[in-house]
Amino acid sequence: MKRVVTAGLKACTTVGVATVVVFCGATAFAQAPDTVLVNGRILTVDAQFSTREALAIRDGKILAVGSSAEMRKLAGARSRVIDLQGRTVIPGLIDSHLHAIRAAETFATEVNWIGAPTLADALGRIRDAARTMKPGAWLIVAGGWNVQQFKENRRPTQAELVTAAPNNPVYVQLGYGWAILTPSALKALNISSDADVPAGGRLEKDAGGRPTGAISGGQGAIIALFDKLPKPTFDEQVDGTKKFFRELNRLGLTGVVDPGGNNLAPEDYQAVFKVWREGQMTVRVAYTLCGQTPGAEFAEIRNLVALMPQGFGDDMLRFNGLGERITAAMNNNPRPTDADKEQYYEIVKWAAQRGLSLTMHWNNDASVGQLLSIFERVNREVPIGGLRWSIAHLNDASPATLARMKALGVGWTVQDAMYFGGEGYVQQAGAEAARRVPPVNTGTKIGVPIGGGTDAHRVASYNPFTSLQWFLDGKTVGGVAIRGAEETPDRAAALRFYTLGSSWFSFDEKKRGSLEAGKLADLAVLSQDYMTAPLDQIHNTESLLTMVGGRIVYAAGPFQSLEVAR
Ligand SMILES: [Zn+2]
């Protein structure tokens, strides 16, 4: 490119008008797209939610969108033209709250129950893993499933796990409240009585007083229990990270905002850092940091962030501030003490002074005022409006809360928690309250920035199409419709949450999240049309071709031959 320009200029000055034409021709050639997609149904997710036929890509960015004829005209001799044969293209999906770094680390060494329709199927995955993994390897299901997804509508028994994998220790976790272990797993962890179980947990007993192999307890107990399990080796973590990102690409995801969280220490970031150093990232990751030690969080965070300015990194891996468990005392605590709040205030005020973004986990509207009061106090001293702080979860956000968030410039990351937890929520809060959970249409009207996502992989599936279908039908995995029409977005709005909406949380809405000229060419060609597929089939959608920055990172079916050897 540089050489062409220099030669052209030189020719211009010495030879004159005739050469200018050559120069312009050379420039046009140099600017021809690398790739042109034609004959598609391209959902641009621009301001008008317009649909286009074709799109041209050059140097990782979208050069233009338009009709197939227009885009073909731009193509040069070396442009690759891909005929979409009428298929639907969406901007690459972005999960605004996915514990991707943690899920990735163990993806190659865990057993995955995501989407298993029956317990028999799930147990079959344990059986298969026992055959394919190293002899005697731990078989760990770290979450991502619930009882209602199984036709049998129940948890596994210890005997079933032993039958599935007689020669491996097996550990199966359900959310953050229950786990079951086989006898060899209990033995390996030296657990034989309640005294051996982390504080707050206990061994479950059957009617006859015999241990069932299960451990139940609070979140702290289950997190501590999980930390006792052997960790994958570093090479396994790197392998898992590449495989997990590819799995996300298969489902049309090209970006995540990682909120840090439980069971994630600084050393756990090393696998994704290695993949980034090697230039092998296929999902853009905006990551956050947590404090680790109760009471010592401020010192830890200051130390971690000392040489890490907000936004440090590049478009594949970028530091995005603090989250989602800033202090242990404020984590999942609806009744923090004044001291807890003061400690939290000191940290987030410091974060505001440093220009750091921040995301905070909060469950219920009833107690979120305590968090918002702190944010408002900080905002009076150091304006936070431009920092894109956010609150995750908050499924029952009231209009008053959403208005306070809007006034502060605080965004809301919304997950499909009710897909697994809807029945429980109805029992606890009643069917009427459940009709407005989560109130995304009210949030949109008030003007709160909203991102889509899942909170995978412990408490949810990472499948974005499961989440998109849930946005639209409000149904739990058990098939119970709990949300009313008033808070149900249409297909365009739901897709917007999962693309442009999510991109806001890492300051990327001008770079990605929609398919418009000048933006990064992150996109997915879908197996079915998201806009017209039967509602109850949306969860079956997959990508047939996923691009990140114009590079093909996943290709299947009719496009399989386009995949570059990995
Ligand atoms: Zn959370």
pLDDT tens column, 522-554: 999 999 999 999 999 999 999 999 999 999 999
Rounded distance from Cα 323 to ligand 1 centre (Å): 9
Q: Report how far apart, in Å, the C-alpha atoms of 483 and of each of 324, 355, 463, 476, 549 are.
A: 27, 38, 20, 10, 37
Q: Report how far apart, in Å, the C-alpha atoms of 284 and of each of 61, 236, 520, 538 are.
A: 15, 21, 11, 24
Rounded distance from Cα 220 to ligand 1 centre (Å): 14
Query: Cα-atom radius of gyration of the chain, to the nearest Å?
Result: 25
Rounded distance from Cα 99 to ligand 1 centre (Å): 9
> Residue 264: its pLDDT value, please?
83
Residues 17, 11: Cα–Cα separation, whole Å? 10
Residues 433, 426: Cα–Cα separation, whole Å? 8
Rounded distance from Cα 56 to ligand 1 centre (Å): 38
Q: Assess contact for 362 and 391: CB atoms under 8 A.
A: yes
Rounded distance from Cα 562 to ligand 1 centre (Å): 38
Rounded distance from Cα 260 to ligand 1 centre (Å): 9
Rounded distance from Cα 14 to ligand 1 centre (Å): 66
Residues 305, 309: Cα–Cα separation, whole Å? 7
Rounded distance from Cα 289 to ligand 1 centre (Å): 13
User: Which amino acid, one-letter code, is at 515?
Assistant: L
> pLDDT-based confidence at 30, cuts 50/70/90?
low
> Residue 19: its pLDDT value, please?
36
Residues 6+ apart with CB under 8 A from 479: none
Rounded distance from Cα 452 to ligand 1 centre (Å): 14
H/E element, 158: helix 158-164
SS3 at position 361: strand
Rounded distance from Cα 246 to ligand 1 centre (Å): 24
Q: What average pLDDT does the segment 204-219 reach? A: 93
H/E element, 301: helix 297-305
Rounded distance from Cα 336 to ligand 1 centre (Å): 17
261-279 CB burial, b ≥16 within 10 A, e <16: bbbbeeebbebbebbbeee
Q: Strands, E, within 161-210: which ranges? A: 170-174, 178-181, 201-205
Residues 531, 497: Cα–Cα separation, whole Å? 15
C-alpha of 128 from chain center = 27
Rounded distance from Cα 175 to ligand 1 centre (Å): 12
Rounded distance from Cα 256 to ligand 1 centre (Å): 14
pLDDT tens column, 502-513: 999 999 999 999
Rounded distance from Cα 259 to ligand 1 centre (Å): 8
Rounded distance from Cα 489 to ligand 1 centre (Å): 23
Q: What's the CA angle centered on 475, arms 474 and 478, to 5 degrees?
A: 165
Is the confidence at residue 24, as pLDDT, over 90?
no
Rounded distance from Cα 206 to ligand 1 centre (Å): 32
Residues 162, 345: Cα–Cα separation, whole Å? 49
C-alpha of 470 from chain center = 16
Q: What average pLDDT does the segment 511-523 reach? A: 98
Instruction: Report residue 292 as tokens.
Output: 């680790």
Rounded distance from Cα 425 to ligand 1 centre (Å): 17
Indicate yes or no: pTM above 0.85.
yes
Rounded distance from Cα 393 to ligand 1 centre (Å): 7
Residues 331, 336: Cα–Cα separation, whole Å? 9
SS3 at position 446: helix
Residues 6+ apart with CB under 8 A from 180: 155, 156, 157, 158, 161, 171, 172, 212, 213, 214, 215
Rounded distance from Cα 408 to ligand 1 centre (Å): 21
User: Which amino acid, one-letter code, is at 485?
Assistant: A
SS3 at position 147: helix
Rounded distance from Cα 324 to ligand 1 centre (Å): 6
Which segment of 34-38, 106-110, 415-419, 448-452 scores lowest on mean pLDDT?
106-110
Torsion angles phi and psi, residue 203, rounded to 5: -75, 130
Which residue's structure tokens are 């641009």?
44
> Residue 292: its pLDDT value, please?
86
Instruction: Report residue 117 as tokens.
Output: 């329709």
Residues 6+ apart with CB under 8 A from 149: 115, 116, 117, 420, 477, 478
The HSE-up count of residue 55 (CA atoms within 13 Å, CB side) is 32
Is the confidence at residue 148, as pLDDT, over 70?
yes
DSSP 263: T
Q: Name the burial class of residue 96, with classes exposed (0-12), middle (13-18) and buried (19+) by CB atoms within 10 angstroms of its CB.
A: buried
Instruction: Report residue 308 as tokens.
Output: 């890490």
Q: What average pLDDT does the segment 48-63 reach? A: 98
Rounded distance from Cα 361 to ligand 1 centre (Å): 4
469-499 CB burial, b ≥16 within 10 A, e <16: bbbbbbbbbeeeebbeeebbbebebbbbbbb
Is the confidence at residue 10, as pLDDT, over 60?
no
Residues 163, 128: Cα–Cα separation, whole Å? 12
> Residue 20: its pLDDT value, please?
37
C-alpha of 545 from chain center = 19
From the CB of residue 367, how many other CB atoms can be counted at a distance below 10 Å? 13
Rounded distance from Cα 418 to ligand 1 centre (Å): 14
Q: What's the CA angle centered on 271, arms 265 and 275, to 5 degrees?
A: 145
H/E element, 211: strand 211-217
pLDDT tens column, 456-504: 988 889 999 999 999 999 999 889 999 999 999 999 999 999 999 999 9
Instruction: Report residue 87 as tokens.
Output: 């298929």
> pLDDT-based confidence at 15, cuts 50/70/90?
very low
Residues 220, 200: Cα–Cα separation, whole Å? 7
Is the confidence at residue 11, as pLDDT, over 50?
no
Rounded distance from Cα 359 to ligand 1 centre (Å): 9
Which residue's structure tokens are 């079915």?
528
Residues 288, 310: Cα–Cα separation, whole Å? 10
Is the confidence at residue 13, as pLDDT, over 60?
no
Residues 6+ apart with CB under 8 A from 354: 305, 309, 310
> Residue 22: its pLDDT value, please?
37
Instruction: Report residue 190 as tokens.
Output: 């030296």
Q: SS in 3 state form for 365-417?
A: HHHHHHHHHHHHHHHHHCCCCCCCCEEEECCCCCHHHHHHHHHHCCEEECCCH
Rounded distance from Cα 362 to ligand 1 centre (Å): 7
